[in-house]
Amino acid sequence: MKSVRGLSEITGEDWSHIARVLKTLELPELIQNYLNQNQHPAILKECHLRSLLELVRLHADVQLHRFREMIEVVPVFTHWPPLKNKQFESRISRW
């Protein structure tokens, strides 16, 4: 597949939606890993496509800080099991 529009033709999805989803792949690996490892509905509700695209548009130095703010809004009980990525915790704790 060479283009978003070509993928759109195959999947039947709107090309602009596919482009937005692909843009989220530009998020830092730490954020992607956290979201992959923590699939609780409350976390996923807070980290919807629009908020993730907002993160992508931010400067790299600010992305982790803003992501932590987003996650802190989620009730504590949803973070069980605790954060699995120690590297993520150590990097964002500096902010």
Inter-residue contact 21 to 49 (CB < 8 Å): yes
Supply the range of the domain harboring residue 56: 28-93
Is the bond preceding residue 81 a cis peptide, omega within 30 degrees?
yes
Cβ-Cβ contacts under 8 Å for 29 (sequence gap 6 or more): none
Average of pLDDT values for 15-44? 92
Residue 33 lies in a domain: yes
Residue 16 lies in a domain: no
List pLDDT tens digits, range 54-92: 999 999 889 999 999 998 888 765 554 455 555 555 655
Residue 1 lies in a domain: no
Mean pLDDT of the chain: 84
Residue 8 lies in a domain: no
Q: Domain count of the chain?
A: 1
Residue 42 lies in a domain: yes
